């Protein structure tokens, strides 16, 4: 599905979701396993690695900087770490495709290297804001050139001397936090980041797991340069962001009864479950356990009548990537759903507020975009065509909407589904979704 952007999905209405699924590995953890495994001393063994285009872009970038990486083979990757100062200058630019995580985190990691690097991406990534990381990195002493708009390509000049900073993030962003912590590995003194709301903490968990000292105090996390990372074994849980489509699909399709196995349950990521349960979703959490410092569990979803809610602001950062799917749940719910405080959705792979509102309206749903969210009146979902604007999460969300549609839904520009969920069509079909690739 990654050959060209004319890939379309056609999803026939009806059906229900059932059986057992294990969705692909967590993208956030897969990225970080490559980055920190490369900087560690010794070997890092990864299982459950997401073999999607975004994660593979990170893997290719570190190979280009001299790291020996074997795999992936059936989700297994072996990394021979080179230590914090063992990376080598690549022969050319590092192309990161559609991956904002790769570009933002690597900006911090590369700011402290002795060599210069240029980071590039596809048209979508090249339009996404990078000042949120380049500005605080510059205050640490980094030298980074971007376009006049503050976007990629980013030229990160080598040889900079970095100093720790105390940074209060204006907007909750795990990518910004992680970028500064990775730069802090190379900075003199202490780098402290304070976030306005909790965001995913996979970077902190993995750093601690690799033996790097961190200080955490509420919303503040601090790191000091000069310590070492050691190679470890990492078992990547199933990605809750990918599970979200099936959480919604099984909730809205009458007669559904689906088990999702080994899903990552990091408390900074479970907002989608909390929101859906507040809407009346029947989600049972079982077999809870800890795997390599990350909590995982199995999730059973049975269909239920959902109701519209005002989404609590404190849950927004904990579900920021899952809102396209949540919007579909809201469209099938009884009553009104209101989302505020989610302006971050406008600077994702697409403007997810506007693109979802346009798509829902094209299907006859009363959905009104606002500056920082959406108002959706639940009701019937019609039939028609939707443009995903090359956004993988938009495409998969509208595929699930067809479970309750009055006619077929055709979704355009779906090639980028492979960035986060290779094999989506096959897994969804096996669960009961009537989807074909055109």
pLDDT digits (tens, 9 = 90+) for 97-137: 999 999 999 999 999 999 999 999 999 999 999 999 999 99
Range of the domain at 397: 9-25+237-437
Same domain, 187 and 219: yes
* Confidence class for position 4, pLDDT limits 50, 70, 90: very low
* Confidence class for position 293, pLDDT limits 50, 70, 90: confident
Report if residue 4 sits inside a domain.
no
Same domain, 213 and 310: no
- For residue 186, the Cα-to-chain-centroid distance in whole angstroms is 26
Report if residue 396 sits inside a domain.
yes
Same domain, 305 and 356: yes
Same domain, 90 and 197: yes
**227 pLDDT exceeds 90?**
yes
Choose among 362, 343, 363: nearest CA to 353: 343
Same domain, 217 and 281: no
Report if residue 3 sits inside a domain.
no
Report if residue 54 sits inside a domain.
yes
pLDDT digits (tens, 9 = 90+) for 162-196: 999 999 999 989 999 999 999 999 999 999 999 99
Cβ atoms within 10 Å of 60's Cβ, excluding its own: 17
Report if residue 55 sits inside a domain.
yes
Cβ atoms within 10 Å of 225's Cβ, excluding its own: 18
Whole-model pTM over 0.75: yes
**217 pLDDT exceeds 60?**
yes
Same domain, 132 and 248: no
Q: Which residues of 310-347 are buried (b: 16+ CB within 10 A; e: fewer)?
A: ebeeebbbbbbbbbbbbbbbbbbbeeebebbbbebbee
**In this predicted structure, what is the pLDDT of residue 1?**
39
Share of the chain above pLDDT 70, in %: 99
**418 pLDDT exceeds 60?**
yes
Report if residue 2 sits inside a domain.
no
Domains contained in the chain, number: 2
Domain boundary among 235, 265, 284: 235
Out of 321, 387, 391, 413, the active site residue is 321
**153 pLDDT exceeds 80?**
yes
pLDDT digits (tens, 9 = 90+) for 276-290: 999 999 999 999 999
**In this predicted structure, what is the pLDDT of residue 84?**
98
Same domain, 307 and 354: yes
DSSP for 309-344 reads -B--GGGSGGGGGGHHHHHHHHHTSBSEEEE-S-GG
Per the annotation, the verdict on 321 as an active-site residue is: yes
Domain boundary among 235, 259, 278: 235
Cβ atoms within 10 Å of 428's Cβ, excluding its own: 24
Strands (DSSP E) found in 49-130: 68-73, 76-82, 94-95, 117-120
Please state, rounded to an integer, the average pLDDT across all residues of the chain: 96
Q: Is 348 exposed, middle or buried (0-12, 13-18, 19+ CB in 10 A)?
A: buried
Same domain, 59 and 107: yes
pLDDT digits (tens, 9 = 90+) for 361-376: 999 999 999 999 999 9
**52 pLDDT exceeds 60?**
yes
pLDDT digits (tens, 9 = 90+) for 67-90: 999 999 999 999 999 999 999 999
Report how far residue 321's alpha carbon sits from residue 217's, in angstroms, rounded to the nearest whole number: 26
Question: Pairing mode, if any, of strands 76-82 and 166-168?
Answer: unpaired
Record the tokens describing residue 341, joined without a space: 């405080």
* Confidence class for position 2, pLDDT limits 50, 70, 90: very low
Same domain, 191 and 296: no
Same domain, 264 and 311: yes
Report if residue 430 sits inside a domain.
yes
Cβ atoms within 10 Å of 351's Cβ, excluding its own: 16
- For residue 252, the Cα-to-chain-centroid distance in whole angstroms is 23
Contact, 162 vs 185, CB < 8 A?
no
**38 pLDDT exceeds 50?**
yes
**220 pLDDT exceeds 60?**
yes
Report how far residue 163's alpha carbon sits from residue 188's, in angstroms, rounded to the nearest whole number: 5
CATH code of residue 143: 3.65.10.10
Same domain, 21 and 89: no
Domain boundary among 235, 260, 289: 235
List, in order, residues 6 or more apart from 305 with CB less than 8 Å away: 280, 334
Record the tokens describing residue 281, joined without a space: 């979703």
**5 pLDDT exceeds 70?**
no
Share of the chain above pLDDT 90, in %: 95
* Confidence class for position 3, pLDDT limits 50, 70, 90: very low
Cβ atoms within 10 Å of 216's Cβ, excluding its own: 11
Same domain, 223 and 311: no
DSSP assigned state of 188 = B
Report if residue 1 sits inside a domain.
no
């Amino acid at each position: 599905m990654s050959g060209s952007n004319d890939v379309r999905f056609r999803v026939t209405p009806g059906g229900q979701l059932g059986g057992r699924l294990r969705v692909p590995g967590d993208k956030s953890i897969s990225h970080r396993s490559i980055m920190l495994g490369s900087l560690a001393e010794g070997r890092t063994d990864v299982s459950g690695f997401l073999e999607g285009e975004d994660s593979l872009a990170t893997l290719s970038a570190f190979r280009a900087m001299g790291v020996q990486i074997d795999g992936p083979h059936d989700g297994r990757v072996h990394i021979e770490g080179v230590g914090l100062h063992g990376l080598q200058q690549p022969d050319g630019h590092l192309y990161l495709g559609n991956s904002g995580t790769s570009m933002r985190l690597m900006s911090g990691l590369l700011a402290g290297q002795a060599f210069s690097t240029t980071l590039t991406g596809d048209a979508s990534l090249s339009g996404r804001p990078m000042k949120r990381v380049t500005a605080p990195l510059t205050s640490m002493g980094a030298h980074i050139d971007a376009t006049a708009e503050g976007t990629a390509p980013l030229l990160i000049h080598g040889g900079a001397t970095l100093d720790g900073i105390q940074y209060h993030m204006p907007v909750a962003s795990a990518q910004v936090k992680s970028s500064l912590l990775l730069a802090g590995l190379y900075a003199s003194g202490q780098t402290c980041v304070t976030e306005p709301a909790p965001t995913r903490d996979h970077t902190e968990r993995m750093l601690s797991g690799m033996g790097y000292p961190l200080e955490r105090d509420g919303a503040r996390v601090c790191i000091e340069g000069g310590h070492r990372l050691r190679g470890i074994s990492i078992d990547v849980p199933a990605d809750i962001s990918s599970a979200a489509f099936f959480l919604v699909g099984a909730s809205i399709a009458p007669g559904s009864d689906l088990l999702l196995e080994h899903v990552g349950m990091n408390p900074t990521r479970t907002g989608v479950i909390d929101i859906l349960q507040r809407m009346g979703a029947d989600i049972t959490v079982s077999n809870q356990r800890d795997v390599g410092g990350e909590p995982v569990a199995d999730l059973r979803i049975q269909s239920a009548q959902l109701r519209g809610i005002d989404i609590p602001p404190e849950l927004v950062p904990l579900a920021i990537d899952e809102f396209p799917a949540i919007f579909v749940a809201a469209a099938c719910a009884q009553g009104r759903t209101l989302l505020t405080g989610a302006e971050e959705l406008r600077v994702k792979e697409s403007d997810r507020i506007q693109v979802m509102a346009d798509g829902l309206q094209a299907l006859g749903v009363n959905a009104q975009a606002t500056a920082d969210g959406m108002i959706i009146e639940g009701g019937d979902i019609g039939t028609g065509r939707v443009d995903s604007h090359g956004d993988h999460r938009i495409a998969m969300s509208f595929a699930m909407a067809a479970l309750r549609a009055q006619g077929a839904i055709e979704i355009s520009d779906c090639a980028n589904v492979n960035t986060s969920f290779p094999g989506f069509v096959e897994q969804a079909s096996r669960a009961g979704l009537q989807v074909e690739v055109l």
